[in-house]
Chain A
Amino acid sequence: MELCLFLGCNTPAIRPDVERAIRASMPVLGIDLVDADNYVCCPAFGAFPSTDTDSWLATSGWNLSIAEQKGCDIVVQCGSCYSSLRMGREHIMHHPDKKDRVNELLEPTGRRVEGTSKVRHVSEVLYKEIGPETIAGQIKKSLKGMNGVVQYPCHTLFPSEVVGFEDSARAPKGMRQLVEALGANVNSYSRELQCCGGAGGFMKSTPEQAIEFAKSKFDAILAETQTDFIAVSCITCLMHMENVQNTLNKRVGEERYKIPVFDYNQLLALCLGFEAKQVASITNVSRDSVLSRIA
């Protein structure tokens, strides 16, 4: 199966090792990735979706048209990109007047959007298209003997009728099954479904409260689990859940928060035999305690 890889902004610019992990792991599992040349910002919810519908949907349409020209669906890792592209597509598909306006704006650029390409999250492709059993059968190394917790990307859960793929957005199972497929034992905890809080303006407008909000999650992880790592599948979750641990350590004056955070595709690529220096090298929280145990 061929999918058009939509990288967004943060992954290629700040965490290209995650991009490497995706490009390395997906073809092994039968997913060929083609690049979305000349793509633009998804657009981020804080950008055009916060100014007007025309610029929002024209930008969505620009990106969707790239995949349509290639004749395949889009695959995305970033939660915000995924949700923005899906919501944009939803508006275009269900409102003929909006679709007409988008195509009017796109026309001088030689582009057109019909809605033939769907937008898929990488965790959905792994969970539903490939499946945990196939993944378990393909890996060369495993996370056996380790405990993990999972962070579901909010943007893949809500609103479920637009972005969802889980049987229940209130009791999702995908990330857990995907991490279990790599041999780890997944721990549950009370704040498992609490948002990381890293997206949008919360952290920028009221950082004190956003950090406290994150602290409540990390304190629950430390009190209720034996976890060795956190598995995420969203670039914002990854960056925020690392950065906030360092901030919290400065606050409490000790190295209390030091749980390694991995994008799922990084763990997958490591278990498929790819080298950590290529697929999991950029981090603010040491991953050595996990990397040394993958065997």
Chain B
Amino acid sequence: MDLKGSIPDLWKAIYNTGDLHHCFNCSTCISGCPASFGDPPLLVRNLARKVILGLEEELLNDDTPWACVSCSKCEEMCPMDVKPFEMILSIRQWQSANDETRVPPSIVEIYKRGYTQAVGVNTELRDSLGLPELMTITKNPEQLQMFREMLMKTPVVSANDYMFGG
């Protein structure tokens, strides 16, 4: 492995916790991981190693953290309490902060209508099932505006405000 250009303190920018350094590469995080069957596989242990070693370019270009199913079995089973799922989220956050192409489109949907799906518009179907009309935020312009203004004060939304219609 070529460690030239590695950034020893990179872990502080990505996952600033002493827990990370307890990792001894045992692979428990991989053995119960659905996405470890992917191609390329999500190998949580390897990601921990890349963060500790400070391999910035490799980490920026790594798609595998996004394959995580969020089942959190790694979080349960890790014998060293590295909290691997939190590390996965932290790597995604660091990628999103440093590469706008990583920003998940779902946050634009949520900003626009409050949800990832079109909640509350299937009124005919809901009626036929005997369900009440939902008081969604999409139907409440005042609340939706406050929600958007709140999000606009947070780092990734404000840094990429062009994605959200200004």
Contact = CB atoms under 8 A, between A and B. Distances in A.
Interface of A: 7, 9-10, 12-14, 16-17, 19-20, 23, 35, 37-41, 43-55, 58-59, 62, 80, 83, 105-106, 108-110, 154-155, 157-160, 163, 169, 194-195, 197-202, 205-206, 208-210, 212-213, 278, 281
Given A38-B136, A159-B72, A50 B129 contact: no
Nearest to B108: A47
A201 B85 CA distance: 14
Contacts, number: 200
Interface string B44-73: 000000000000000000010011111111
Nearest to B103: A51
Contacts of B101: none
Contacts of A83: 70, 72
Contact of A212 (B37, B40, B89, B125): B37
Given A58-B150, A109-B147, A212-B37, A44 B116 contact: yes
B75 A158 contact: yes
Contacts of B114: 39-41
Query: Chain B interface residue count: which class?
Result: 35 or more
Nearest to B156: A51
B154 A55 contact: yes
Interface in B111-139: 114-122, 125-126, 129-132, 134-137
Nearest to A37: B135
B63 to A, nearest CB: 7
B96 A50 contact: yes
B126 A16 contact: yes
B26 interface: no
Contacts of B63: 205
Contact of A201 (B67, B71, B131, B153): B67
B155 interface: yes
